Amino acid sequence: MDDLAFGGEGVGRADGYVVFVRGGLPGDRLRVRLTEARSRFGRGVIEAVEAPSRDRVGAPCPYFGRCGGCRLQHLDYPAQLRFKAKQVADCLTRIAGVADVPIRPIIGAPELYGYRNKMEFTVARAAGGTVVGLHEADRYDRVLDIERCLIQSDVMNGLLAEARAFFAERKLPVYDQESGEGLLRFLMLREGKRTGEAMVNVVTSAPQVSELAPLADRLRSRVGQTASVILNVNPKKASVAVGVEEHLLAGRDHIREALGGLVFQISANSFFQTNTLQAERLFTLVEESTELTGSETVIDLYSGTGAISLLLARRCRAVYGIEVALAAVDDAQRNAKANGIENCTFLSGEVRGVLPQLIARGVRAEVVVADPPRAGFHPKALRALALLGPERIVYVSCNPATLARDLGELARGGYRVEWVQPLDMFPHTPHIEALARLSRL
């Protein structure tokens, strides 16, 4: 093996023919059985590790290799960081078409395990009964029962165990994707790392509150950190853990998290960075990169629950946050009120629609901060950003490929990419966060 692909597969060559191997690492010498052969590349599985890479380590998780998450646990953490930094650099060179962009040294995570503040588990039916877990590697039709996940805390693992036991004891029917029958669909857990508050969100196909109410009593009596138990109802066939209606079973309809001296309310369906400690580092970098003096207007695109907006509001004249998820906008407004911040305006809708409306109203901004989803900017949103023409843009991305694509467009539209900062939010996975600062030419 001589490289890693963006998804974390090992890349090897046999007589010039490229073979992708799940679990292979650069420096490995492997005996591989080919499972897929195409004209330009193939895929194979490891039959034997004849000589391991010097960066290969033992994976502590008993589900490693079967579970679809944490694909890089067997790679030494410094090597993970080198791979991720290379991933960002390769995308900038190959996709962005911008030369000589300084890439700062990658910032590693302070916690390698127990770092996630949100986990989503699928409830499924298996031969042995009800399972609550994660999808098997490369399989969306099979769920691996997870008793304990190493990247979530002991509190969240305790909630997982109690919920699983409750589902089994009550013999609650599991939703079947084909027939549309059954009740249980997903179990989502959240935790405020700074506050210690935890949320359990059960996603079902129907509003059977009486069936799930005893779970709330059980959780609150056995896991003291339980601050919120929610029932979300998704009656549609779409396999998503977001409901069309919500029922509060116990506690509050949100939990709280503290970041940068502010307290944030997080509801079941709103977005919040899933690694609290690295989010603090990221938001500090964003604050520094905006170089605010106090007189600026800032527009925060894809603003989520308002974390970046509210942190920046203390250092500028006004902030407009745009976010498509109404639940997140509601959280952002509540967060502003709870923290006594009055110079933030949060708007609900697609950036590609709301940003042109702001421009038409005469709103101008010296600084724009953007944290889009993995797909990056919609072309219409990117055109609206270029029309707005802020002096500085701070772009936060969880996908180096779409970051590079959008940076290339902005560079061709009159912006200079000053630098890019990779930051590892998700140890043991191929995912990498990056922050880019741009200035208008």
Residues that are catalytic: 398
Q: Distance between CA atoms of 305 and 331, rounded to whole angstroms?
A: 5
Distances in Å between the alpha carbon of 134 and those of 113, 120, 142, 351? 17, 8, 9, 32
Kindly state the tokens that stand for 183.
Answer: 């009740």
Cβ burial, residue 140 (10 Å; 0-12/13-18/19+): exposed
Place of tokens 């309310």: 265
Task: Write the DSSP symbol of residue 205.
Answer: S
**Partners of 264 in the β-ladder:** 257
The total of other beta-carbon atoms located within 10 Å of residue 240's CB is 11
Kindly state the tokens that stand for 314.
Answer: 């203390």
Coil, strand or helix: which one is 340?
coil
CB 359 within 8 A of CB 387: yes
Our measurement of the distance from residue 20's CA atom to the centroid of its chain's CA atoms, rounded to an integer in Å, reads 25
Q: Where are the beta strands (DSSP E) in 262-348?
A: 262-267, 297-301, 318-323, 344-348
Q: Distance between CA atoms of 56 and 72, rounded to whole angstroms?
A: 10
